Amino acid sequence: MTEPIIQMKNIEKHFGLVIALSGVSLDVNPGECHCLLGDNGAGKSTFIKTMSGVHKPSKGEVYFKGKLMNFARPRDAIAAGIATVYQDLAMIPLMSVSRNFFMGNEPIKKIAGLPFFDHDHANEVTMAEMKKMGINLRGPDQAVGTLSGGERQTVAIARAVHFGAEVLILDEPTSALGVRQTANVLATVDRVRNQGVAVVFITHNVRHALAVGDRFTVLNRGKTLGTAVRGEVTPEELQDLMAGGQELAVLEGSLGGTV
Amino acid sequence: MSETAEANETPPVEDERIKEMAGFRKAMIRPELGAICGTILVFVFFFLTARDSGMFGPAGILNWSVVSAQFAIIAVGACLLMIAGEFDLSVGSMIGFAGIVIALLSVSLGWPVWASIIAAFVICTGLGAVNGWLVIKTGLPSFIVTLATLFILRGLTIFAAIATTRKTIIGGVRDAAEGDWLAPIFAGKIFKGFFQWMGDHGWIETFSRGTREGMPVVEGVPMLIVWAIILVVFAHILLTKTRFGNWIFASGGDAQAARYAGVPVNKTKILMFMFTAFCATLFATLQVMEFGSAGADRGLLKEFEAIISVVIGGALLTGGYGSVVGAALGALVFGVVQQGLFFAGVESSLFRVFLGIILLLAVILNTYIRRMITGER
């Protein structure tokens, strides 16, 4: 059994009088895709924001590679090797792919002692990485706005991995995508996982989760409803856990089990 | 043998829905395209209508290039700030304020001129930082925050001038600047020898009468133009060739996404507010040194002239997109139109009509170009 790369223990988060998380625990192993499922308002976003350094937990501990961590800012988490890809905020559409790829990590080349952006190196790496991910670019200066939503997610994932992310948090990467694009993103997740990166995959779509997940943790109203291992759980069980049981059973009856 | 080897090479996978772009088209599609077209159009227009007026003689060229350089100096600051996603409406007031600071310190308080100039730069870039800090801390649109600064600074400038000298125009800076080591880099002309030499050879006109007989009508290149060129080159390199330039684009493109990627957005924006204030102060210093006086009402409406130049130059009002070269060309278009109408003998009130039409055409063309580049819908 490998040592979990990140462990979240009894995380609680209070916003004033609102208890967003009341004791959530989760651990992720290297090379594993751990799916975090939950309905809207279940606390998924708050939870991953404590993992990525945006929020400080009110109670509970975060262990990264066995060490207790205390992230004050997202930059601290990024520096440690925890990268987050947000659904809408992954890329800047007006900027070129290569400028986006190196945003915040610009390569430097010295000319006459002055630091300049090394565009040649950036362009070369971007083209190579995009080719690996199966994205055809007209050129590294192509604007991200011309890419599809799935391609943008893929670029963001490739970027995070290229800059040494060991834990990759994906915030609903597939929820706004079409069928084919979703398949591409899921294939990218699989590829990244096989490289040994630990992936935390947030979704409310059970089928997407089952397609790539190794373990599944369901959140409901700020609590963990347990973690299941691949093969030991059916889509119906996950769906029920997410929705909290009874209400959906009634709904499902009227919808003929299509949800 | 060679044929089979070639046949075995698999061609690179092409996406059937991405059309190959012709090289020429690719070279043409750039943020400055609108401004380049505008520049050509404006020059052709005035070449046809005002060729005989001396507009393209040495004195005429000097005339419109000085005006364009003035626009360019403030446009460069406004351009970088706009790309970083913010506005500064206090540029005009800052120009008046900086001028009065220099004149008050040097003439009324008797400070050396170099110290007054440095003090004006420090105070004004400091005020620029305050602008930026307020925008970041309050989260309010910079439009509103700097609109407030516009009134506050203008009011303070007039108050300070009247309270200390009972006038709104403070003269005597030129006398105070006599023999100063810093003042000359903001006044006067360079390459005088070269222009005299060209005059001697009859390549440019010389005065034929009076005390300046034999001297060329254009003595040299004004420092104003030199500063404008330095600023444009500096800002262009900063924006396109450095890491900080990438941060400027990212901050304006999507501040939150940039923050998540580790870009220091707040620092970048505040620095750009300071740079805009620096450009305004530079403009004021050049003006004060040229006129020998400072006026509390100087710089009126300059903020809009800067923004118009930047927009003609292809920048996006909402940030994240634009070019310094474009802004400089926008300033050139602006300057040439303003002075060209005078050369062409057009009623001066029609200048605004012209400006409005050019602005509208430029924005429409630029929007179209930008959509092609960025895939906006």
Structure-token pair, residue B82 = 């706009």
B85 touches chain A (CB under 8 A): no
Alpha helices for chain B (secondary structure H): 2-8, 23-28, 33-49, 58-83, 91-103, 113-138, 142-165, 173-176, 192-200, 223-241, 243-253, 255-260, 265-291, 302-312, 324-343, 350-374
> What are the sequence ranges of the domains in chain A?
6-91+149-255, 95-146
Say yes or no for a CB contact (<8 Å) between B14 and A99: no
Expressed in angstroms, the distance from the first to the final Cα of chain B is 50
Residue of A nearest to B22 (CA): A138
Q: Is A19 helix (H, G, I), strand (E, B) or coil?
A: strand
CATH fold for the domain made of B34-47+55-369: ABC transporter involved in vitamin B12 uptake, BtuC (1.10.3470)
Residue with tokens 């600047």: B177
Answer yes or no: are the C-beta atoms of A164 and A151 closer than 8 Å. no
Query: pLDDT (tens digit, 0 to 9) for every residue of chain B, 377 residues total?
Result: 444 444 443 444 445 555 555 566 666 667 888 888 889 989 999 999 888 888 888 888 999 999 999 999 999 999 999 999 999 999 999 999 999 999 999 999 999 999 999 999 999 999 999 999 999 999 999 999 999 999 999 999 999 999 998 988 998 888 888 888 888 889 888 888 888 888 888 777 777 777 777 778 788 899 999 999 999 999 999 999 999 999 999 999 999 889 888 889 999 999 999 999 999 999 999 999 999 999 999 999 999 999 999 999 999 888 999 999 999 999 999 999 999 988 888 888 888 888 888 888 888 888 888 787 777 65
Answer yes or no: are the C-beta atoms of B362 and B99 closer than 8 Å. no
B373 touches chain A (CB under 8 A): yes
Answer yes or no: are the C-beta atoms of A161 and A168 closer than 8 Å. yes
CATH architecture of A6-91+149-255: 3-Layer(aba) Sandwich (3.40)
Q: What is the pLDDT of residues A156-179, one digit of tens each?
A: 888 888 888 899 999 888 877 878
For B306-321, b/e burial (b = at least 16 CB within 10 A) is: bbbbbbbbbbbeebbb
Q: Which amino acid would we find at residue B203? A: W
- Chain A residues near any Cβ of chain B (below 8 Å): 74-75, 78, 84, 86, 89-95, 99, 102-106, 108, 115-117, 119, 136, 138, 143, 145-147
Residue B241: which of A93, A116, A146 has the nearest Cβ? A116
ipTM entry: 0.81
The pLDDT value recorded for residue B94 is 97
CB < 8 Å from A in window 318-347 of B: 320-321
Residue A89: which of B243, B257, B316 has the nearest Cβ? B257
Instruction: Please give the torsion angle defined by the CA atoms of residues B7, B12, B13 and B16, in that order, rounded to the nearest 10 degrees.
Output: -100
